[in-house]
């Protein structure tokens, strides 16, 4: 059996090959515009082209897209009166006693938030239908903004996914559609909406390169690391991109725990700096899971390893803001032009 581990970062793509009882490693620059190209090139460099592989893949493609604000144009659809849902959030302040907090950029631009019918009550009763006027409004918004994806987050959709599916049924087939009733069917519209929007915002990027990767590896089995530290087949990973936000870092944390057990040390502090992001975590035996994690400024309510990720890595770009203050990141030199 040929086992191959591949970790795609924003700057480097790393390979670990286990074959015939021997371990081999390889490293090359990532290809951020098409991550699968670096993977396929590395497989060729290792002399594995045409081989049937069992591959486990960790990736920071979704992580880095979120940290650097490089998701795709996404329409956020919710019920009437709730367009400001993601902007208002929980009204939590990162600095409780700061009387002059700096402005925070809204997750979704106001013009990309649409209010529709299809509202349910807390008991699942339909209060406001998704009608023909809503469909016309949605079609006009798609024609105007030309999004690559849509996030649909209707109230109490976890009780009944019918209204969200009615919205999805009238959408063009080429669009990436993320339904909150599928991404996170749980109570609390803000957390569910944020997870749904993040899934839609980076989903086309993840789904596209995974499909191209599989096409380039016919006959191979590709499993993708999820934020929770387990794996899922690549066919399903693209539709649930929000569960890959800590894909690469989670693999590192699982490995740290394994190595700690081998040397008899259960309590560890992990520090993982890449070219774009830095991840830190505490380990006491197995990695802990949380549904209250964050990626940069965004809360992520799907299960993920308890880890903190910031947009500061070895290739983070230093710059001066309007006041002349030195800032670092979150944008990175990545693989192109690459680190100095």
Residue 161: predicted pLDDT: 94
d(CA 329, CA 315): 9
Q: How many CA atoms lie within 13 A of 42 on its CB side?
A: 26
Question: In the prediction, which pLDDT does 83 show?
Answer: 94
Among 308, 215, 193, 229, which residue's Cα sits nearest to residue 56?
229
pLDDT of res. 118:
94
- Measured CA distances, 63 to 49, 187, 205, 248 (Å): 28, 25, 11, 9
* Buried b or exposed e, range 109-123, using 16+ CB within 10 angstroms: eeebbbebbbbbeee
CATH of 3-67+206-248, one of 3.40.1310.30, 3.30.420.40, 1.10.8.60, 3.40.50.11720: 3.30.420.40
Average pLDDT of adjacent 10-residue blocks, the chain of 340 residues: 90 93 94 92 93 91 86 95 91 81 84 95 94 95 95 96 94 94 93 95 93 92 93 89 90 91 93 87 89 86 88 90 91 83
Distance CA 303, CA 244 (A): 10
Quick: pLDDT tens for 207-262.
999 999 999 999 899 999 999 999 999 988 888 999 999 898 898 899 999 999 99
Q: Where are the domains of the chain?
A: 3-67+206-248, 74-201
Residue 29 is predicted with a pLDDT of 92
Is the previous residue joined to 330 through a cis bond, with omega within 30 degrees of 0? yes
Question: What are the CA-CA distances from residue 313 to residues 70, 128, 155, 277, 310 (Å)?
Answer: 17, 48, 38, 5, 8
């Amino acid at each position: 059996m040929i086992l191959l581990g591949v970790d795609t970062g924003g700057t480097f793509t790393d390979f670990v090959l286990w074959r015939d009882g021997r371990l081999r490693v390889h490293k090359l620059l990532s290809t951020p515009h098409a991550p699968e190209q670096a993977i396929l090139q590395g497989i060729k460099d290792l002399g594995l082209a045409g081989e049937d592989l069992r591959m486990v893949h960790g990736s920071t493609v979704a992580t880095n897209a979120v940290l650097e604000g490089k998701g795709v144009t996404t329409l956020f659809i919710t019920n009437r009166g709730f367009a400001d849902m993601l902007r208002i959030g929980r009204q939590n302040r990162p600095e409780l006693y700061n009387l002059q907090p700096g402005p925070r950029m809204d997750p979704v631009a106001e013009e990309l938030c649409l209010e529709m019918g299809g509202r349910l009550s807390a008991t699942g009763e339909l209060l406001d239908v998704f009608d023909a006027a809503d469909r016309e409004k949605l079609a006009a918004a798609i024609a105007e903004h030309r999004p690559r994806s849509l996030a649909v987050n209707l109230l109490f959709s976890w009780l009944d996914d019918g209204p969200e599916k009615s919205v999805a049924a009238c959408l063009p087939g080429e669009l990436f559609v993320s339904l909150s009733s599928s991404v996170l069917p749980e109570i609390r519209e803000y957390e569910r909406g944020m997870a749904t929007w993040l899934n839609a915002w980076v989903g086309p990027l993840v789904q596209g390169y995974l499909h191209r990767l599989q096409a380039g590896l016919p006959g191979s089995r590709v499993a993708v690391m999820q934020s929770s530290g387990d794996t899922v087949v690549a066919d399903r990973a693209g539709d649930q991109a929000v569960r890959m936000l800590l894909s690469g870092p989670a693999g590192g944390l699982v490995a740290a725990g394994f190595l700690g057990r081998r040397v008899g040390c259960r309590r560890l502090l992990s520090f993982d700096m890449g070219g774009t992001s830095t991840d830190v975590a505490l380990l006491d035996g197995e990695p802990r899971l949380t549904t209250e994690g964050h990626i940069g400024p965004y809360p992520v309510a799907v299960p993920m390893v308890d880890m903190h990720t910031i947009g500061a890595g070895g290739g983070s770009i230093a710059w001066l803001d309007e006041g002349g203050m030195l800032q670092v990141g979150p944008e990175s030199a990545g693989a192109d032009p690459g680190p100095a």
